Chain A
């Protein structure tokens, strides 16, 4: 796969405050790339630089081989941008809204009508074609905004917190829509601080905090590379002091970083070892005569990974 978005040492300062401090995410064509981070991490600033809305203080950013600072007009033709907070024009019908943006991209009248019809079908707003935009629900407006970003068939979609303010049903619909867009060959950069939302959707992520990318790649790869290990859950047929004694025995293992008894009596182990070490621990536990009901490895999620990555991070000094 080829890289369609490439950044190198992207820095953005606001009056002495460092919003982005040397971000270098690269995105391959056809990926859904998640920018993960807490509020104020620099996700929006990074996306706004890529959307040609902000000039970086230092560093370079290219989309489809074109510099966002030197060729902003050309870049705007290959990106579709959906900001985190956006408004709608009053006194405008749904089809007029899309018609306006299609005109902005210089799409010919005949093609414009076809594009509007197709996009309204895609975002499931065809029945609302002649409704006024301000009468739509938040979720519908969100989908309409996404449709506006697609009006010129861009290669790259930059979506800043697209699911914020949506109810669960609208989130599911948006997720399905984004998968459909990926199937259509679009590259999608999406930012969010709601990690489970990105975990289900993204092919790669960049964990960003205080303006710096702390880790980047596929979730499984990051986990492997950083060797944060896993969480093991051991259920024993014990309680009271016997359970506490079993916890202490497990905690004494070299690969166990932590051992906590949960409310349901399960012992949760922070485990640094690999698969072989896991098998060894299970064998030793059984050999020690502890009545093992279940012994499982908890699936590592993005949220956990994010917490581990950001926990050791030092604050970035302001310039």
Chain B
């Protein structure tokens, strides 16, 4: 057998690998965007989207104006901030709804369509890494979502005319939007890389989104409703003998936005703060038993418990208790008659960032043609020698 002359190439240095990955992501991105942005279609959709969003904001403003023109229901001095907050809430939640469905549905076919069209093999036999393929597909699908988000910024800035909303509130809302798009987009691409058919992938993705948005809220309400109270007024564990799984609330982007909207309310809280504290009443050290708040979501109210006057109350008259049912006395809870703000959305952001990384890594494994589930494989044992195998 003749000797082969070509030597084995040495492994590339890390920066060369990074450069190649960036090049691969750029190649995928350019190809995807050429398809998505060709012609006037994308820009017509963007224009219609902005017109609808603007019309919606205008209608909300008109509704609020009508309310404050009624001498029996409102005071004109607080009309401006209230209108600003209402427009902010309406537009932010509408955009969240849009992101929650648009981001995963635009990635749900990213890989499976390549399989269906029989183009994936052409792609994976190039030197582009599976990581670059997944990231390139994800980012190029999300670019349009991010474009819609960015295009809404001038419209959102209208709330500054009315007041009641600070720039930091808008920044928080947009952070949640962007991270939600990334997280749910990663979920879509994971489904797309695991499932062969785009129809099935899209169906699973939409089902997952509904579970994340509606399912989590329903589960929390159900768990709280099923939990009974003992003689001292403390809540007993709900179904399956476990406490309400409040971390479920962390993955719900609507609850995170409710927390952002809570930040625009007064320090005494309001409707949005009640929603957040009703469904995710966690503190850093224990669980707040809702004692009057949370009416907005119809959560059953527990029995009143003794307050801790020297340290104040949690929102809605709630008192923080630890796992043993003892009141928690610390500086965090000690906000006299104040609403706990910014408790949920940072957790949502952190959780979705982590989940995104996990989903992306799984997707990379699923796309890789020969290195699939490498980290799950057991290390190969050395072959036993014939002597050791002998009885």
Chain B residue numbers with a CB within 8 Å of A74 are: 8-9
Q: A48 → chain B, closest Cβ, in Å?
A: 8
Contact indicator A104/B127 (Cβ below 8 Å): yes
Count of chain B residues with Cβ under 8 Å from any Cβ of A?
A: 35
Q: Scoring A residues 23 to 67 as 1 if CB is less than 8 Å from chain B, else 0, what string do you get?
A: 000101000000000000000000000011111000000101111
Chain A residue numbers with a CB within 8 Å of B125 are: 51-53, 76, 79, 81
Contact indicator A64/B4 (Cβ below 8 Å): yes
Contact indicator A104/B128 (Cβ below 8 Å): yes
Q: B27 → chain A, closest Cβ, in Å?
A: 4
Contact indicator A65/B126 (Cβ below 8 Å): no
- Given A2-B4, A76-B125, A101-B126, the answer on whether A89 and B9 have CB atoms closer than 8 Å is no
Cα distance A100–B9 in the bound complex, in angstroms: 25
| Cβ-based interface call for A217 (8 A) | no
Which of the segments A90-98, A173-181, A234-242, A253-261 contacts the partner chain? A90-98
Chain A residue numbers with a CB within 8 Å of B27 are: 100, 103-104
| Cβ-based interface call for A148 (8 A) | yes
| Cβ-based interface call for A85 (8 A) | yes
In B313-366, the 8 Å CB interface with A consists of: none
| Cβ-based interface call for B232 (8 A) | no
Of B9, B31, B119, B122, the contact of A71 (CB 8 Å cutoff): B9
Chain B residue numbers with a CB within 8 Å of A52 are: 125, 369-370
| Cβ-based interface call for B385 (8 A) | no
- Given A85-B118, A87-B117, the answer on whether A105 and B4 have CB atoms closer than 8 Å is no
Q: Scoring A residues 65 to 88 as 1 if CB is less than 8 Å from chain B, else 0, what string do you get?
A: 111010111101111010101111
Which of the segments B18-26, B98-106, B283-291 contacts the partner chain? B18-26
| Cβ-based interface call for B124 (8 A) | yes
Q: B352 → chain A, closest Cβ, in Å?
A: 30
| Cβ-based interface call for A1 (8 A) | yes
Contact indicator A53/B38 (Cβ below 8 Å): no
Q: Scoring B residues 100 to 143 as 1 if CB is less than 8 Å from chain A, else 0, what string do you get?
A: 00000000000000001111011111111100000000000000
Contact indicator A2/B2 (Cβ below 8 Å): yes
Contact indicator A92/B31 (Cβ below 8 Å): yes
| Cβ-based interface call for A6 (8 A) | yes
Contact indicator B121/A65 (Cβ below 8 Å): no
Q: B111 → chain A, closest Cβ, in Å?
A: 14
Chain A residue numbers with a CB within 8 Å of B35 are: 89-92
A160: nearest residue on chain B (CB-CB)? B121
Contact indicator A105/B126 (Cβ below 8 Å): yes
Q: B194 → chain A, closest Cβ, in Å?
A: 18
Chain A residue numbers with a CB within 8 Å of B116 are: 87
A62: nearest residue on chain B (CB-CB)? B4
Q: B65 → chain A, closest Cβ, in Å?
A: 46
Contact indicator B8/A53 (Cβ below 8 Å): no
Q: Scoring B residues 301 to 318 as 1 if CB is less than 8 Å from chain A, else 0, what string do you get?
A: 000000000000000000
Cα distance A298–B229 in the bound complex, in angstroms: 98
Contact indicator A72/B370 (Cβ below 8 Å): yes
Q: B134 → chain A, closest Cβ, in Å?
A: 15
Contact indicator A76/B122 (Cβ below 8 Å): no
Q: B298 → chain A, closest Cβ, in Å?
A: 48
In A98-141, the 8 Å CB interface with B consists of: 100-101, 103-106
B36: nearest residue on chain A (CB-CB)? A91
Cα distance A241–B35 in the bound complex, in angstroms: 75
Which of B5, B8, B118, B125 is the most central at the interface, judged by chain A CB atoms within 10 Å of its CB? B125
Q: B181 → chain A, closest Cβ, in Å?
A: 23
- Given A105-B127, A106-B23, the answer on whether A86 and B3 have CB atoms closer than 8 Å is no
Chain A residue numbers with a CB within 8 Å of B128 are: 104
Chain A residue numbers with a CB within 8 Å of B123 are: 104
In B358-385, the 8 Å CB interface with A consists of: 369-371
Q: B13 → chain A, closest Cβ, in Å?
A: 14
| Cβ-based interface call for A4 (8 A) | yes
Contact indicator B30/A87 (Cβ below 8 Å): no
Chain B residue numbers with a CB within 8 Å of A83 are: 118, 121-122
Contact indicator B1/A96 (Cβ below 8 Å): no
Contact indicator A2/B127 (Cβ below 8 Å): no
- Given A66-B9, A81-B125, A101-B126, the answer on whether A91 and B38 have CB atoms closer than 8 Å is yes
Chain B residue numbers with a CB within 8 Å of A73 are: 127, 129
| Cβ-based interface call for B7 (8 A) | yes
Cα distance A28–B377 in the bound complex, in angstroms: 36
Which 4 pairs across A and B sit closest by C-beta, in order of nearness?
A: A103-B27, A87-B117, A87-B118, A104-B126
Q: Could you jot down 6 A-B contacts, CB within 8 Å?
A: A2-B4, A64-B4, A65-B6, A73-B127, A106-B20, A106-B23
Using a CB–CB cutoff of 8 Å, the interface residues on chain B facing chain A are 1-9, 20, 23-24, 26-27, 30-31, 34-35, 38, 116-119, 121-129, 369-371
Using a CB–CB cutoff of 8 Å, the interface residues on chain A facing chain B are 1-4, 6, 26, 28, 51-55, 62, 64-67, 69, 71-74, 76-79, 81, 83, 85-92, 96, 100-101, 103-106, 145, 148
Can you name 20 extra interface pairs (CB under 8 A) apart from A53-B125, A96-B31, A104-B27?
A: A2-B4, A28-B2, A52-B370, A53-B124, A54-B369, A65-B6, A65-B8, A66-B8, A72-B371, A73-B127, A79-B125, A83-B121, A83-B122, A86-B118, A87-B119, A89-B117, A92-B34, A103-B30, A104-B127, A148-B122
